[in-house]
């Protein structure tokens, strides 16, 4: 099968997604980044298997990722990627990844630099694979989530999942 046929085949499948917001202050009513992720996933024809807001706490984030990996093919997180003392999403997720996708963070920061300048280096956005589940970790700002979802994640979401499952028995 050629690459274009691979992309066509993968583009026809809805992806089961879980959304996790890591925040000590956001609620369902104030989680605009989480709402944007949910909205764009549904608009693009994907299934949202779970959504939760967890405190920005290493162990709580790991437990949420563990639970989400049981019900989703892709986990999308927002928040906790900065450098403040409470930002622990990067450490929690990085400790679980079996394979990393360094290009996501690199391209995200490059695109962010175009918008916000050198402050883009403060982001520790990352992505990778844990137990056949793709994980994307985005900053908490809605502008950052829009950038990541619209320019990087949604255009490749089905293809990424297809790449993970194509050789399963």
Taking only the tens place, the pLDDT of each residue in 27-49 is 999 999 999 999 999 999 999 99
Which one-letter DSSP state was computed for residue 121? G
Which one-letter DSSP state was computed for residue 128? E
Q: Is the pLDDT of residue 148 over 70?
A: yes
- Do the beta carbons of residue 74 and residue 161 sit within 8 Å? yes
Question: Which two three-digit tokens encode residue 72?
Answer: 């989703």
User: d(Cα 89, Cα 101) in Å, to the nearest integer?
Assistant: 16
Closest CA to 131 of 87, 91, 89, 168: 168
Taking only the tens place, the pLDDT of each residue in 92-129 is 999 999 999 999 999 999 999 999 999 999 999 999 99
């Amino acid at each position: 099968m050629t690459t274009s046929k691979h992309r066509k085949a993968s583009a026809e499948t809805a992806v089961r997604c879980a959304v996790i917001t890591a925040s000590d202050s956001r609620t369902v009513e104030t989680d605009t980044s989480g709402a944007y992720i949910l909205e764009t996933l549904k608009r693009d024809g994907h299934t949202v298997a779970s959504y939760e807001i967890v405190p920005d706490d290493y162990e709580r984030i790991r437990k949420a990722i563990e639970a989400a990996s049981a019900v989703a093919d892709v986990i999308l997180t927002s928040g906790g990627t900065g450098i403040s003392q409470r930002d622990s999403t990067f450490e929690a997720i990085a400790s679980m990844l079996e394979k990393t996708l360094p290009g996501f963070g690199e391209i995200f920061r490059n695109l962010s630099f175009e918008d916000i300048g050198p402050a883009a280096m403060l982001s520790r956005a990352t992505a990778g694979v844990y137990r056949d589940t793709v994980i994307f970790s985005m900053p908490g700002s809605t502008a950052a989530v829009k950038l990541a979802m619209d320019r990087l994640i949604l255009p490749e979401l089905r293809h990424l999942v297809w790449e993970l499952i194509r050789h399963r028995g």
